A = this chain, B = another copy of it.
Amino acid sequence: METLPDKTVERLSQYRRSLNNQLAKGKEHIFSHEIANLLHITSVQVRRDIMLIGYSGTLRKGYDIKELVHLIGVILDTDDGQKIAVIGMGNIGKGFIHYLYEKRSKLKIVAAFDINPEKIDKTYADVYCYHLDKLEEIIKKENIKIGIITTPPQVAPEIADKLANAGIKGILNYTPKPLSVPEDVYLEEYDMITSLEKVAYFVKEE
């Protein structure tokens, strides 16, 4: 399949979670406008996204939730799952680990890294924390493909370099320090302060 638009991929992730909730409630079929209401978006957008992934509903009955969830899985997941490392065991790093804990997801955080002796060689929500020195070794050994950087910003660039060298193919950068990575590494950056300043701006303006 053609690579999907960024925003569609984001929504697929959200559709899936909402749809799983509905499944858990015993619902089997759903209309585009119902999905839209769950996410507070428009039904056109839902139908367009579903069109893009090549699924079809039935007129008057809507979409088969189970089938749709399955198809989203085929698109977003890999068969054997993807392994993730968290670099930086601060609040945000722990937050990620905690979020994914106990979710039977195809995404698995399999290692954490830090330099604080109090955190090293301990386990948080089943994730073992190694010294940062072991970064490349463990990533290669475990064949980890995704890294989440939640360190202090100053060290983020060198972490990114090490990750890329060790064979990581996707980086989620949570530090406010903009990174640059080799072409074959997918980079997603998110800056909490920027979000907050954005809210502040629009509050001020309206």
Contacts and interface: CB of A to CB of B under 8 A. Distances in A.
B107 A76 contact: no
A14 interface: yes
Contact of A196 (B4, B75, B172, B199): B172
A176 interface: yes
A111 interface: no
B76 A203 contact: no
Is the contact region of chain A dominated by helix, strand, or loop, or is it mixed?
A: helix
A40 B205 CA distance: 28
Nearest to A183: B206
B176 A17 contact: yes
B91 A197 contact: no
Interface stretch (A22-30, A42-50, A61-69, A94-102): A94-102
Given A92-B92, A192-B96, A199 B14 contact: no
Interface in A1-25: 3-4, 6, 9-10, 13-14, 17-18
A77 B17 CA distance: 36
Contacts of A40: 178-180
A55 interface: no
Contact of A178 (B3, B38, B172, B190): B38
B178 A199 contact: no
29 contacts: A3-B205, A9-B202, A13-B194, A13-B198, A14-B178, A14-B194, A17-B193, A18-B178, A38-B178, A40-B178, A76-B197, A76-B200, A77-B200, A91-B92, A91-B95, A92-B95, A96-B192, A107-B200, A146-B196, A146-B199, A148-B196, A169-B203, A171-B199, A186-B202, A186-B203, A188-B195, A188-B198, A188-B199, A190-B190
Which 3 pairs between the two chains have the least Cβ-Cβ distance?
A91-B95, A170-B203, A13-B197
